[in-house]
Amino acid sequence: LSYTEQQAQIDLLTKTLRRHRKIVVIAGAGISTSAGIPDFRSTDGLFKSLQKKHNLKASGKLLFDAAVYQDEALTASFQDMVRSLSEEAAKTSPTAFHHMLARLSQENRLTRLYTQNIDGIETSMPPLATQIPLNVKAPWPRTIQLHGSLEKMVCQKCRHLGDFDGAMFDRPDAPECPECARNNQFRVETGQRSHGIGKMRPRIVLYNEHNPDEEAITSVMNADVRSRPDALIVVGTSLKIPGVRRLVKSLCSVIRSRRNGVTMWINNEPPAGKEFEDCWDLMVKGDCEEVARLAALKRWDDHSENVFDEYAEEEAKDSNGFPHAFIQPRRRGFPVAKEGPGQISVQSRQSRAQLQDVLKASKTAEPKKPAAKKSAPRKKTKKDEPAKNSRITTFSKVTKAQKVATDTEKAVKLEKEENKPMHPLPPGAARNNGPMFPQLAEKGEETPQRSSRWRQPDTISPKSVPNGMSQLLNQPAA
């Protein structure tokens, strides 16, 4: 396809990279091949070269398995491999695509960069710096390293974290942890029991082992999906890791539901699997460096104004003289006739004529008031009847209004109530309503016997006392 035939696709590519404000990028080893770092699964990739170099019976993928520390020969090959990879990564410089990602982050338009690379080229630029280890809660850095990096090494015993030192991995066995060695020496000198010394290893995630940042990475992924980005760029990866595939599917469904959402695939090979057939608005088969050149973004440390150049057809060709193919899959839907320059379809003419007639009629005709419709009584159905065991959803119970009684009806009611026999009192009520002093219940008077014990001349005594009171007064003192 020529440059002019792909103009619409190229415009979509450049507008997405220049204007969208919430971009998520998922990158693989393909973005570092231009810097001299080999990928993993290609015919001349790292798995094949490691198999030849170390005379492995299986693929070089075996050196990225957690079982390398269970075999001394595999441990020696693994140590040599990580040391050489670290030296190569230290000599390389960021590519044009790396600088484009850093520029997006500098302009605050890069929501997140998920990288599967362990070379650390992305994080060597300040706008794409990361944090090791990751926090489970926000805030999080722009770059999330899904598989760790060769920039750090960690102790398998005390989890001591330090900068990667290739000189410590120049021997067959794993190096000792300096922090464990210091603590062990102190315990021995003070007469305490030794706890042993751990081994250092690069802080990368191998196959068949737990990712120490798994919980934090899951939190970041869920937060990014909820933020509803407006663009997704999957570049330089074959999507073989199940967790990355799930993230891509979730982001594609969210972004494509937006009106201006764009999902983009950039790789030399199309995505594998039927689950990704209808996930992309734009598929770019080619080098990601060409994509960065078409976007023409400034370097992250360039503070001049943006000037975007227009490329002709000859400038869009690659080194072999063939133009890159930008393929945009059609979305499923009904075909619609498009109007070219100076052409009006029959359907649009009819719609415009009908619209003009409606406008004329609305100007001349007076607006009619809508006739009031009489609502017919609705028939009761079974749904209207309250269920026998239905839940109570109201706070008060609505009952029928009571009939107002007349004076004659009230008098008859009172007369009936008076003729009714009195209900007997319960034992408790009879006891409570009885006399307080039963012995004093009968009223009467008695003449007290004259006695010198209680009648004295200097006191005022009553003429008579209640029955039984004289007995109480004449009782001898205890």
DSSP 378-411: PPP-TTTSPPTTPPP-SSS---PPPPPP-HHHHH
Residue 261 and residue 230 in contact, taking contact as beta carbons nearer than 8 Å:
yes
> Strands of 148-155's sheet, edge to edge?
161-163, 148-155, 200-204
Q: Count other Cβ atoms within 10 Å, centred on residue 277.
A: 10
pLDDT of residue 415: 63
Measured distance CA(16)–CA(266) in Å, rounded:
13
Q: Taking the domains of the chain in order of start, what are their residue ranges?
A: 1-35+94-147+209-331, 38-91, 148-204
Residue 39 and residue 29 in contact, taking contact as beta carbons nearer than 8 Å:
yes
Angle at the Cα of 354 from the Cα atoms of 348 and 356, rounded to 5 degrees: 105
To the question of whether residue 155 is assigned a binding role by annotation, the answer is yes
Residue 271 and residue 249 in contact, taking contact as beta carbons nearer than 8 Å:
no
Kindly report, residue by residue over 163-187, the tens digit of the pLDDT: 999 888 888 888 999 999 999 999 8
Residue 72 and residue 172 in contact, taking contact as beta carbons nearer than 8 Å:
yes
Helices (H) and strands (E) in the chain, counts: 12, 12
pLDDT of residue 194: 85
To the question of whether residue 158 is assigned a binding role by annotation, the answer is yes
Spatial CA neighbour of 329 closest among 256, 226, 421, 225: 256
Residue 272 and residue 239 in contact, taking contact as beta carbons nearer than 8 Å:
yes
To the question of whether residue 177 is assigned a binding role by annotation, the answer is yes
Residue with tokens 């464990």: 180
pLDDT of residue 420: 59
To the question of whether residue 288 is assigned a binding role by annotation, the answer is no
Task: Name the pTM for this structure.
Answer: 0.64
CATH topology (fold) of 1-35+94-147+209-331: Rossmann fold (3.40.50)
Measured distance CA(117)–CA(364) in Å, rounded:
71
Q: Count other Cβ atoms within 10 Å, centred on residue 336.
A: 7
> 325 - beta bridge partners?
285
pLDDT of residue 349: 44
Residues whose CB is less than 8 angstroms from the CB of residue 227 and which lie 6 or more positions away in sequence, other chains included: 22, 111
Residues labelled catalytic? 147
Q: Quick one: how far is CA 350 from the chain centroid?
A: 49
pLDDT of residue 476: 67
pLDDT of residue 64: 81
In order along its 478 residues, the chain shows pLDDT tens digits of 556 668 889 999 999 999 999 999 999 988 988 888 877 666 666 666 766 666 666 666 777 888 888 888 888 888 888 888 888 888 889 999 999 999 999 999 999 999 999 999 999 999 999 999 999 998 999 999 999 999 999 999 999 999 999 888 888 888 999 999 999 999 888 888 888 899 999 999 988 888 999 999 999 999 999 999 999 999 999 888 888 999 999 999 999 999 899 999 999 888 887 888 888 999 998 899 999 999 989 888 887 776 655 444 444 444 444 445 444 454 444 344 444 444 444 344 444 445 455 445 545 555 555 555 555 556 555 444 444 433 333 333 333 444 555 666 666 666 665 555 655 656 655 555 565 555 555 555 555 555 555 555 565 666 666 777 767 767 766 5
Measured distance CA(215)–CA(213) in Å, rounded:
6
Residue 122 and residue 149 in contact, taking contact as beta carbons nearer than 8 Å:
no
